[in-house]
């Protein structure tokens, strides 16, 4: 059984979908939730869904070793970022080669980089007058949103679309595809 750790700083709606998706799986399970914010909604969801969680301070996280030790102790095979706002330290990336992935709410490389998260992304997409946007699932490297792309899917934006509607369209694709892409990756992991 492969073991997944999900890192999140926010509401955790993707984490919930991933946990539910693997609840009856024979391939993998969500073994740990990691956050940088003790008030994050993702921790509430972890508690309700009985998934162990851990909160790191910024200094602990940036040392990398405390995170690596916890992930190794929990025999984690894949680290899944879902709304995690901090850059992943190089030592953590080296400890989990090709085993840390992220989901970004735009069609990379567009609308990416430091500060481009959540509503900021959708506002930029609308301000740019885009007629479509989408989701990108990618491997994590030492910069924000620049790792090798694994999967992308687009959705149409109509001129009358509000920020809320664009967010909904995006979130719908995230919830539909992130769990199954994770399953595909874990099925191919040695």
If one asks whether residue 179 binds ligand GRF (CB under 6 A), the answer comes out as no
Closest residue to ligand GRF: CB criterion? 83
Stretch that binds ligand GRF, among 6-14, 48-56, 143-151, 156-164 (CB under 6 A): 6-14
**Long-range contacts made by residues 60-63, C-beta under 8 angstroms, separation at least 24?**
61/36, 61/86, 61/89, 62/86, 62/89, 63/89
Rounded alpha-carbon distances, angstroms, from residue 16 to 20, 92, 164: 6, 24, 20
Q: How many residues bind ligand GRF (CB under 6 A)?
A: 15
Distance CA 155, CA 22 (A): 26
Binding mask 101-140 for ligand GRF (x = CB under 6 A): --xxx-----------xx----------------------
Q: How much is the CA Rg of the chain, to the nearest whole Å?
A: 16
Task: Decide: is 13 part of the binding site for ligand GRF (CB under 6 A).
Answer: yes
Please state the φ and ψ torsions of residue 139, each to the nearest 5 degrees. Answer: -70, 150
- Determine if 8 is a binding residue for ligand GRF (CB under 6 A): yes
Determine if 83 is a binding residue for ligand GRF (CB under 6 A).
yes
| 150: CB partners within 8 A, 6+ apart | 101, 137, 138, 139, 181, 185
Select the residue interacting with ligand GRF from 43, 174, 179, 182 (CB under 6 A): 174
Question: Smallest gap, in angstroms, from Cβ of residue 176 to ligand GRF?
Answer: 13
Q: Give residues in contact with ligand GRF (CB under 6 A).
A: 8, 10-15, 82-83, 103-105, 117-118, 174
């Amino acid at each position: 059984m492969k073991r997944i750790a999900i890192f999140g700083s926010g509401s955790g709606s993707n984490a919930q979908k991933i946990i539910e998706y693997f609840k009856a799986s024979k391939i993998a399970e969500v073994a740990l939730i990691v956050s940088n914010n003790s008030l994050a909604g993702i921790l509430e969801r972890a508690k309700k869904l009985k998934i162990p969680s851990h909160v790191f301070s910024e200094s602990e996280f940036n040392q990398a070793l405390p995170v690596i030790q916890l992930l190794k102790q929990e025999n984690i095979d894949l680290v899944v970022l879902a709304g995690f706002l901090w850059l992943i330290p190089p030592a953590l990336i080296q400890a989990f080669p090709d085993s840390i992935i992220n989901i970004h709410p735009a069609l990379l490389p567009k609308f990416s980089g430091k500060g481009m998260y959540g509503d900021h992304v959708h506002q930029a997409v609308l301000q740019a007058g885009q007629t479509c946007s989408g989701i990108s699932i990618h491997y994590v490297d030492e910069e924000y949103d620049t790792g090798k792309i694994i999967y992308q899917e687009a959705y149409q934006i109509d001129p009358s679309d509000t920020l809320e509607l664009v967010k909904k369209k995006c979130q719908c694709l995230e919830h539909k595809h992130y769990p199954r892409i994770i399953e595909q990756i874990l099925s191919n992991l040695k």
